[in-house]
Amino acid sequence: MEAYHKPDQQALQALKDAANRLRISSIRATTAAGSGHPTSCCSAAEIMSVLFFHTMRYKAKDPRNPSNDRFVLSKGHAAPILYAAWAEAGFLQEAELLNLRKIDSILEGHPVPKQPFTDVATGSLGQGLGAACGMAYTGKYFDKASYRVYCLLGDGELSEGSVWEAMAFAGFYKLDNLVAILDINRLGQSDPTPLQHRVEIYQKRCEAFGWHALIVDGHSVEELCKAFGQTKNQPTAIIAKTFKGKGISGIEDKENWHGKPLPKNMAEQVIQEIDDKIQSKKKLSPALPEEDAPVINIKNIKMSSPPDYKLGEKMATRKAYGFALVKLGHANDRVIALDGDTKNSTFSDLFKKEHPSRFIECYIAEQNMVSIAVGCATRDRTVAFASAFATFFTRAFDQIRMAAISESNINLCGSHCGVSIGEDGPSQMGLEDLCMFRAVPNSTVFYPSDAVSTEKAVEIAANTKGVCFIRTSRPENEVLYSSNEDFQIGQAKVVVKSKDDQVTVVGAGVTLHEALAAAEQLKKEKIYIRVIDPFTIKPLDKITILENARATKGRIITVEDHYPEGGIGEAVSGAIVGEPGITVTRLAVSHVPRSGKPAELLKMFGIDKDAIVQAVKVAVSKSKNAE
């Protein structure tokens, strides 16, 4: 509080004028586009003016400078006022604002990272604060820099549970470099928000989560300046009472105007009314940052030595993941690990023991954990690996989807996949994860089958752009590959091969080991099969699979510890579409499983060695009968 210096009347008037220029730009742009959210922009005009031209320190011509203060517009539909602020700061041309939402403009309907001033895509509500927490955690604990993080939320999105996961995280880790501004404009999309203008309830909620919470008049630049000047040893929530459509006569605080641009004649009249309030055309310049963010390098991270495993040694891939992460942490000090209170099952606890200051415990809040990872990875400040049971990433699918839209480079490891976990039963079994991650644009899906390939997957993922998913298993399986085996994305391994092979079997993780056992059994009966380990399910090595299928009379059997939809079988089937004379038989978990011993469940669902043997015999006899 003692740091607060009240701006003089001239400065306050300049901030009011800037706020009204932001209003005019937002109305003009949305009317030109014929769509957008001018009323959502207008409630935040004073907040944006004070933030961008009084409070935040940044280089307007270098929006991604690592020392700049960060800004996240969680209420992404108010994008036009974000663009207006960057035009007011001199980064964008005013004329470009009129290209809002056009196919050849970077100014999309919601913020996206093709805009140099946008770190994370927003618009799926309730996610901005989690990403802002990741940025603030990185600033405080990894960069140890003075930049601050500001996140503007709408009151509608405060019904999202993910917001309160982020509130709890920030409160617990005392992120005193984080400020959340709640734009309490009373109205949602189709109805008033549940609390409307009961700002004192929001204040109590924020305080209960460990935040310093202040109620302000969100249209008073003086109150906002004062509130932003207050810092405590905890995150700050500024609860701004505002009116939706503020400054638009006849629309201010009225329902049924969400997401509707003003008709042209109405817009012109309103713009004139607002313009009449502006006393000076003089633009304000932002304060410059203290350039104290360290120079770092996260490119081309290499393990210091090859994997240290012996052929035939037994090791669960989930444990090999933990060892690999430890090693990667030694290779680069910007590698960080996150977990959701499963670290002693995913084995990320090995990383915590070795690199305690670089481990973030996110507790049982997987949606927030993914958002934290996205925030930590912005501006290439860290290489983030987040782990949980594979099945629990399903609840964070929206965050993962938005991570892809954010062009984020995050690495997610899902352990305990499939029925092979055994007795814990279906609620703990990852059976949809391959389907989910394959659907994510620009994702890479690793499914290592032994300790060596797991270590290689971790190293490759650290250097791969986009969302990477590593699927690890609970059972201990034999090491199949020597430590000098080379692994590449989209490159499968032919593990068993002879000139007499009659069927190609594709398996991964536990089912690869079942396929190898089936090959041994069939060999005794003079039936030979080729066994392929895909290593990555996306991208899939189509060439290797097709070449080997053709060499085995066009017969492929896929076997997976996953539901049939969207897994290995469908990936392989998609790869061979239009290829004549090739058939695919798919073995997968056909319905909701149950508790039991791993071997019993693999047998029950027809994905064990015996099921593969049977499927091979059926395939071979079919062709004999056809002959």
Q: Annotated active-site positions, please?
A: 366
Q: Which two tokens stand for residue 587?
A: 């073995």
**Omega prior to 539 cis, within 30 of 0:** yes
Please tell me the distance from the alpha carbon of residue 253 to that of residue 197, in angstroms, as a whole number.
Answer: 11
Residues in the chain: 627
Please tell me the distance from the alpha carbon of residue 365 to that of residue 382, in angstroms, as a whole number.
Answer: 21
In sequence order, what are the beta bridge partners of 529? 503
Please tell me the distance from the alpha carbon of residue 527 to that of residue 507, in angstroms, as a whole number.
Answer: 18
Phi then psi for 56, rounded to 5 degrees?
-75, 145
Q: Strand runs (DSSP E) across 32-168, as ranges?
A: 70-73, 149-154
For residue 505, give the nearest of 524, 482, 522, 488 by alpha carbon. 522
HSE (side-chain half, CA atoms, 13 Å) at 205: 17
Please tell me the distance from the alpha carbon of residue 325 to that of residue 159, in angstroms, as a whole number.
Answer: 36
Please tell me the distance from the alpha carbon of residue 606 to that of residue 420, in angstroms, as a whole number.
Answer: 12
Strand pairing category for 536-538 and 444-446? antiparallel
For residue 428, give the nearest of 568, 567, 596, 603 by alpha carbon. 596
Please tell me the distance from the alpha carbon of residue 501 to that of residue 531, in angstroms, as a whole number.
Answer: 10
Beta carbons within 8 Å of 353's beta carbon, 6+ residues apart = none
Please tell me the distance from the alpha carbon of residue 262 to that of residue 39, in angstroms, as a whole number.
Answer: 9
Q: Which two tokens stand for residue 87?
A: 């035009």
Strand pairing category for 236-241 and 212-217? parallel
Please tell me the distance from the alpha carbon of residue 452 to that of residue 3, in angstroms, as a whole number.
Answer: 56
Q: Which two tokens stand for residue 282?
A: 């003089």
Beta carbons within 8 Å of 20's beta carbon, 6+ residues apart = 45, 247, 274, 275, 277, 278
Please tell me the distance from the alpha carbon of residue 505 to that of residue 511, in angstroms, as a whole number.
Answer: 10
Please tell me the distance from the alpha carbon of residue 106 to that of residue 487, in angstroms, as a whole number.
Answer: 37
